[in-house]
Structure 1
């Protein structure tokens, strides 16, 4: 139970960070898609670099039993990533928000984001239904 409270606290802190850094701001996202500001590209680029470093360090660690931690390699497939990226990008551009800060936007009182939240749930449900029918 204490882990759930810690995770909830970290989630709240992450949500506050998203709102205060304006990463969840529709105007910042609009600026990004118009190539008017470096703000979002800087944040996304920093996250990518941090993710690369964290993955590298994780691969060097051992788990509690002393065994190497394995990170499964994703299947190679340019077409899958291209189609998925286009769908994700279109949803992001049309909705005006990335799925990441949906809960933070709801928590900040932006009730119109409920439509985006329901769309994200519908998209995730649809993918779950058809994923086994998609080519690998």
Structure 2
């Protein structure tokens, strides 16, 4: 129950933050893909920098999770093609849909019914990837 309240609180905070900072705004995403505004690039760049700092801290401080277990981060497989192709597919989906996965769930909270079609499509795409994952080249 303790972790549920913690995760729910973090999710609620991030949802409010996404709406107030206009991260979930299709117009801000549209501006970004037309290179007309620095708004989204600044947010994404800040998130990357903060993520690097937090990951380095977790790796070298021997931090523990809520249950007192060590937090371990497994290294990713090296590769170029899979990240380029995956990034292009993700970027195209983001540009066409006007939302990436985090803000998609935030938009449910704004009672935008059309977002359910987008979420179903994203879940279907994830399921199809899971079916073909082992058949794809490494």
TM range (shorter): over 0.9
CA RMSD, aligned part only? 1.7
Q: Distance in 2 between matches of 1:38 and 1:5?
A: 35
**What displacement does 1:111 show?**
1.3
Residue 32, structure 1, aligned to residue 32, structure 2: yes
**What displacement does 1:70 show?**
3.7
Note if contact 1:60-1:68 (Cα within 8 Å) is conserved in structure 2: no
- Of 54, 72, 85, 1:83 maps to 85
Query: Residue in 2 aligned with 1:119?
Result: 121
What SS does the corresponding residue of 1:100 show, helix, strand or coil? helix
Q: Distance in 2 between matches of 1:40 and 1:90?
A: 16
Gaps in structure 2 of 5+ consecutive residues: none
**What displacement does 1:57 show?**
0.6
| Number of matched pairs | 135
Q: Give me the TM-score of the superposition, normalised by structure 1.
A: 0.92
Residue 56, structure 1, aligned to residue 56, structure 2: yes
Q: Distance in 1 between matches of 2:34 and 2:79?
A: 29
**What displacement does 1:12 show?**
1.1
Q: Give me the TM-score of the superposition, normalised by structure 2.
A: 0.91
Gaps in structure 1 of 5+ consecutive residues: none
**What displacement does 1:68 show?**
7.1
Query: Residue in 1 aligned with 2:13?
Result: 13
1:102-128: per-residue Cα shift (whole Å, max 9, x none)?
111010111111111111111111111
**What displacement does 1:71 show?**
2.1
